[in-house]
Amino acid sequence: MSKFKEDVIMALMQECYAKIGLAKMNITVLLGMPSGVGGHSEYTQSIREQAAIIAEQKGLLKVLEEDFYDKE
């Protein structure tokens, strides 16, 4: 794998990990301080949105790792 290709793939993977980390932290905060969110539907919707971010980023990571990241 060329250095450029490796750098691009690694940067994209790091971005995914960062977004996953932020979404997990947001869920942790929401679960720890539910009074910070107005209504029940907004509370669950906020958590659902963060979980969707995690799912999306994990899917992107899987594609990058399996289809583009040459571990050799």
User: Which two structure tokens, joined as six digits, stand for 30?
Assistant: 């929401």
Average pLDDT over residues 3-27: 96
41 has pLDDT over 90: no
Q: Tell me what pLDDT residue 67 has.
A: 94
Average pLDDT over residues 44-59: 96
Angle formed at CA 41 by CA 40 and CA 44, multiple of 5 degrees? 85
Average pLDDT over residues 28-54: 82
User: Which two structure tokens, joined as six digits, stand for 59?
Assistant: 């899917």
Over residues 18-33, the pLDDT tens digits come to 999 999 999 999 888 7
35 has pLDDT over 90: no
